[in-house]
Every structure is written in C-alpha cells, then in structure tokens.
C-alpha cells in the first residue's frame, strides 16, 4: 500500500534553528569541525564525554537547571540539577580513583535505571575508565561473557542482581571489586570483593579533575550480537560525543526548554547515546522512568512531567496501539510536540496512528550500536514518508551497494546499506576482535549488515537483515547465543534458532531442536528446555516456540542452515540448497 507523504508542519513549534527544510544546503554547509567548536574540550584539547555532558554546564547558567527528573518504580520522584550531578559524579570518580582504577580500565554496571546508574557511568568516564552498562534483565551467561571478554575490573550492581554475579564469579579472575548500590536499603550482607556504594560516596570528595582523555581514547562499549560467536563489544571513543550532541540537536530537535524522555535502558546503545549523552551535552532536562512498560504508566509519566520530546521504539508503540485509544484519552498528553522512534522498522500504520491519536507523527530514524549515533532520519522540518527511515544525517553519506559491496546501486534497487566511514561516533573496534571489525569494511564503506533501498528523493527504506541476526522487540539476538544455551540442556543434540513474524515484537524466536538418543519429544520436555533457556539467557532472547525435528538441515561442512529452516517455517521458496548435506 502506498501512503501519502505527511507534510511537515505537524509539530507545533517550528522555531528550529537552523531551518532544516533546506536539507541539501544544510548538508553542504555542515562541518564536524563546527560541531567540535560548539563543545568545550578539556584543558589541553582532548574530549571527555563526561566533561561535555555535565562539567561544562557548571560554568554557565545551566548549573542550577534540572538535568534529571527521576520517577522510581515504587512511586518516588527525585530531581537533580547539573550541579548535583557534577558533584555526585566527581565523588564517584574519586571512589574509583581510591580503588586504583586507571585510565582505560573497564568499569561495568549491572543495575536498574536509578540515579546511581547515571552517576556511576558518568563518574567512571571522568576517571578515564571505559564503561560497559549491562541490561539488568541479563542472565548469568550474558553477564559472564561480557565481563570476561572486557576483563572488567569493577562492577557496580544491586542486591537483587548480585546473586547472578555470585554464580559466575569463578570465571571472572579480572574482577577486583563489586560495588553494591542499595538505595532502597534492603538487608544485605557483603560477600567477597564487595563494598557499599553509599559508604564510599559519603566520604568521597566533591571535587575531581577529569582524567585527561584524548578524542581517541576508549570511553564506552556496548555488546552486540552477530550471526556467529558470542556478542562483541563495539567500542566507542570520547569523540563520539560530537555525534551524540549534533544528532540530539538536529534529529531529536531538542530546544533549551524541552523536557525529554528516552525510554531506552542504558544497557543498550540508545539508552546511553540518547538517554544520557545527547540530551545532557545539549543541557536538556530529561526524565528517567525506572519502571517497565505499561501504557498507563507511560502516559502518566508524559502527563506528570509534561514531556515535550519523546524517543521510543516500534514495539512499545505497537503495544500502545494495542492498549487502545481509550487509555490515551485518560491522560493529558498535550505537552508532547515531537516524537521519534528507532530500533526496528516502524510500520506506516504506527505513524498514522500517532498522527490521529496524538496529533503528531512518529519520526523514524535508523542507526546501530556500531554507528554510535543516528545515521538516517526523518528530520523535524521535512516531509515524512510513513515506512521510510528518512534521509542520511547531515555529516553522513549512505548508499546502497551491490551484492559484492563494490558498486552503488541506483534509486529503487535493493542492496546492502553502507555508510562512508569517518563520522566521529563510529565504533573503533570490536573489543579483542580486530579482524572481525576490519571485515565490516569494504574500501571506504562500512557495511551495515542491513538490506535496504533508496528512493528518488534520497529516502531510505529498510528491507531486512543481510544475516541471520534476529531483531526481537528492537533487540538484536544472535541465533548462535540461543543455540549455545539450548545445546547445554542434557536432552538437546542440535538446535537452530530463527526469527518468526510477530505482530508486536516484529520477530520472536523459534528454535528447532533435535534430541539425543534416549529422549522422546513431549510438551513437558519443551517446557523444561524453555525453562532451562530462561535461566541462561535474557528473557527477550528465550525461544517463544520450540519444535522438535529428527535432524536439522546442515551444509556439507556441518553448519545449520537457518535460512532453510526459516523458508520452510514461512512457506517461502527454499532457494539454493546445493550445499545441503545428503
């Protein structure tokens, strides 16, 4: 179905500077050097993300502006100014200094979205550490893989999650200290390596001189899934803040008086690039809601804090659509003026729904953990084509390349989505996997792994992944991770995981399993395998469905042919099966 473009003036305040309607001219005039000049920099010239998001505001009128409006899951509300965060992050940097953390060492967090999470991440950046925020729903294997690969020295966590860490401690020889944040004062007795956050913070000093980092020093890593192997740590440098700053301003259209809410958790790249760095480097007040999704809670957060700019994800939008319009009517959402979405294809119906129900259309944008910041976007003052990801960000060149990733394809043709390397926030390596990192480039192009096409107006349209990675509710899951967890079950001989369509989460995981001799397929065994997987993987990575097969289709070299499993599941043509084992 073809949808008419939505004309631009649907967003109320259009005092956007510069005027983004002149996209071509803006592209010509855009210089990353100009963005750099708008930032502050450390004495001596280098960038440090923490300095740009907090410290530089202390020298200005923003010092006493509210930076964080926190809504706890138990109904608490707290406010922090930039100055409050300045002092707290200084204290935490001093805490890490006291523990002997040196520039470049890894400090990970594994906790809920409480103010301490934000303090610890920014404080650790000030101390020159490389931070790694872990999603609090991760199971022991996911946490172990990440802490082990990064050789994290310090972990900050909470009493509810620390038992997961105890299970894997034997595999983490590099972990020296575990800091326990206990904001709700649960009874807790410290175990080996553990120290109390509150006690350390009470005695730490408010003053700290940010460690001199260069533009190219590593700052943050987020693990991301590929088709094979364990998740890889996409490592970003301090200079990435230029990308966060510029895109938050131009794409998310943040103005000084905005109240902004990004619903993503800092365990994922959206939750740091746009849930910390983008808004705060622009001096914007932002809301953090600790609780999970519920239509009523989410709308009440918007109403209570008078959120003006909202950045969320398609699965959440589809869940809101499912919750129905009667829920929307209960709340006053008039404060909203601009809404954006990222992470998975945003179906055109969702854009039309928001236009009808909220009076605003969602602006879809596209990027990846590896790219560090938004690369393709629907801008505020630009017609939206519902279903399209929009046009490349001003300082970014995107193209559709042919099958060999050599030639650019003309408009209308599907191919590999690629970006010309060189934007400041692009990842600099996969931690410990330099060869894999290099394999993602072809000449001047970074090959994204997505299939897409570009239309005559330069709008990009997502087609699908070029690999077997599953995107479920906006989170990438590597089939290999799921399969590795499943084959640890005593009954499982082989496993193959694919994504199957789902009306809300876009894809959910289905696993095909062949059993070892002596085991008989049964519903009870399916349940047992699912429960087993749930203990090892994050809930979102667990198979929703399991199907037993006598054997899995494999290539002659023994690789499970997921493509074939998927084609058979969806009733699609099986394609080339010449490598199929006899």
Q: Is residue 369 close enough to count as binding ligand PRX by CB under 6 A?
A: yes
Q: Which residue is nearest to ligand PRX (CB)?
A: 369
- Interacting residue with ligand PRX among 465, 544, 554, 563 (CB under 6 A): 465
Quote the least distance from Cβ 412 to ligand PRX, whole Å: 19
Rounded Cα distance between 121 and 266, Å, is 9
Cβ closer to ligand PRX: 42 or 473? 473
Q: Is residue 342 close enough to count as binding ligand PRX by CB under 6 A?
A: yes
Is residue 492 within 8 Å of 560, Cβ to Cβ?
Answer: no
**C-alpha angle with apex 328: 2 to 363, nearest 5 degrees?**
40
Cis peptide before 196 (omega within 30 of 0): no
Rounded Cα distance between 193 and 149, Å, is 20
- The secondary element (H helix, E strand) that includes residue 315 is helix 314-323
Cβ closer to ligand PRX: 269 or 515? 269
Using the rule CB under 6 A, give the single segment among 106-114, 153-161, 325-333, 340-348 that binds ligand PRX: 340-348
- Interacting residue with ligand PRX among 94, 164, 368, 375 (CB under 6 A): 368
Cβ closer to ligand PRX: 150 or 224? 224
Give the three-class secondary structure for 70.
strand
Residues of this chain, 206-265, that bind ligand PRX according to CB under 6 A? 224
Q: Is residue 495 close enough to count as binding ligand PRX by CB under 6 A?
A: no
Quote the least distance from Cβ 366 to ligand PRX, whole Å: 4
Using the rule CB under 6 A, give the single segment among 94-102, 342-350, 395-403, 493-501 that binds ligand PRX: 342-350
Integer CA distances (angstroms), 485 to 190, 353, 540, 546, 555, in order: 31, 39, 14, 13, 22
- Interacting residue with ligand PRX among 223, 305, 311, 367 (CB under 6 A): 367
Q: Is residue 429 close enough to count as binding ligand PRX by CB under 6 A?
A: no
Is residue 420 within 8 Å of 397, Cβ to Cβ?
Answer: yes
Angle between helices 159-168 and 140-150 (to 10 degrees): 70
- Residue 225: CB atoms within 10 A of its CB come to 23
Quote the least distance from Cβ 341 to ligand PRX, whole Å: 7
Q: Which two tokens stand for residue 449?
A: 């792994």
Quote the least distance from Cβ 209 to ligand PRX, whole Å: 33
Cβ closer to ligand PRX: 90 or 286? 286
x-or-dash string of contact with ligand PRX, 432-451, rule CB under 6 A? ----------------xxx-
Half-sphere exposure (Cβ direction) of 515: Cα atoms closer than 13 Å: 14
Size of interface with ligand PRX, in residues (CB under 6 A)? 21
| Terminal C-alpha separation, the chain | 42
Residues that bind ligand PRX (CB under 6 A): 224, 269-270, 342-345, 364-369, 389, 448-450, 462, 465, 471, 476
């Amino acid at each position: 179905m073809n949808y008419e473009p939505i004309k631009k003036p649907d967003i109320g305040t259009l005092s956007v500077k510069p005027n983004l309607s002149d996209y071509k001219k803006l592209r010509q005039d855009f210089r990353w050097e100009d963005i750099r000049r708008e930032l502050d920099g450390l004495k001596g010239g280098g960038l440090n993300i923490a300095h740009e998001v907090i410290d530089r505001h202390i020298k200005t009128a923003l010092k006493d502006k509210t930076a964080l409006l926190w809504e706890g899951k138990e109904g608490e509300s707290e406010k922090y100014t930039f100055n409050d965060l300045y002092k707290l992050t200084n204290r935490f940097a001093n805490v890490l200094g006291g523990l002997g953390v040196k520039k470049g060492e890894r400090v990970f967090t594994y906790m809920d979205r409480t103010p301490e999470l934000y303090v610890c991440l920014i404080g650790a950046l000030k101390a020159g550490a490389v931070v790694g925020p872990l999603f609090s729903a991760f199971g022991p294997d996911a946490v172990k893989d990440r802490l082990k690969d990064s050789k994290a020295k310090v972990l900050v966590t909470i009493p509810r999650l620390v038992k997961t860490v105890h299970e894997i401690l034997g595999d983490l020889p590099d972990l020296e200290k575990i800091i326990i944040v206990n904001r709700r004062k649960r009874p807790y007795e410290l175990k080996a390596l553990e120290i109390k956050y509150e006690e350390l913070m009470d005695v730490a000093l408010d003053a700290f001189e940010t460690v001199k980092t260069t533009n190219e020093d590593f700052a943050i890593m987020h693990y991301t899934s590929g088709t094979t192997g364990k998740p890889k740590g996409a490592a970003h440098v301090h200079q990435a803040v230029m990308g966060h700053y510029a895109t938050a301003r131009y794409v998310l259209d943040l103005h000084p008086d905005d109240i902004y809410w990004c619903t993503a958790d800092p365990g994922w790249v959206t939750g740091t690039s746009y849930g910390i760095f983008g808004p705060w480097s622009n001096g914007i007040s932002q809301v953090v809601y600790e609780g999970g999704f519920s239509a009523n809670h989410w709308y009440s957060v918007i109403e209570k804090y008078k959120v003006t700019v909202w950045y969320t994800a398609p699965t959440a939008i589809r869940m809101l659509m499912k919750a129905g319009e009667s829920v929307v009517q209960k709340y006053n959402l008039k404060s909203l003026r601009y809404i954006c979405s990222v992470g998975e294809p945003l179906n055109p119906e969702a854009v039309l729904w928001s236009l009808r129900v909220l009076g605003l259309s969602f602006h879809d944008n596209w990027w990846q953990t590896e790219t560090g910041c938004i690369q393709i976007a629907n801008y505020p003052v630009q017609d939206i084509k519902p279903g399209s990801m929009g046009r490349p960000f001003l300082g970014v060149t995107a193209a559709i390349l042919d099958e060999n990733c050599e030639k650019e394809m003309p408009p209308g043709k599907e191919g590999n989505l690629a970006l010309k390397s060189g934007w400041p926030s692009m990842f600099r390596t996969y931690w410990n996997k330099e060869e894999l990192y290099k394999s993602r480039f072809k000449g001047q192009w970074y090959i994204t792994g997505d299939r897409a096409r570009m239309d005559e107006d330069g709008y990009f349209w997502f087609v699908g992944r070029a690999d077997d990675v599953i995107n479920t509710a906006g989170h990438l899951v590597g089939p290999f991770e799921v399969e590795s967890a499943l084959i640890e079950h005593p009954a499982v001989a082989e496993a193959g995981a694919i994504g199957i369509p789902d009306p809300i989460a876009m894809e959910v995981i289905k696993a095909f399993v062949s059993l070892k001799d002596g085991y008989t397929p049964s519903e009870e065994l399916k349940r047992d395998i699912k429960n087993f997987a749930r203990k090892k993987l994050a809930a979102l990575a667990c198979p929703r469905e399991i199907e037993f097969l006598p054997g899995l289709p494999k290539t002659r070299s023994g690789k499970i042919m997921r493509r074939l499993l998927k084609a058979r599941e969806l009733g699609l043509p099986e394609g080339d099966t010449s490598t199929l084992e006899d």
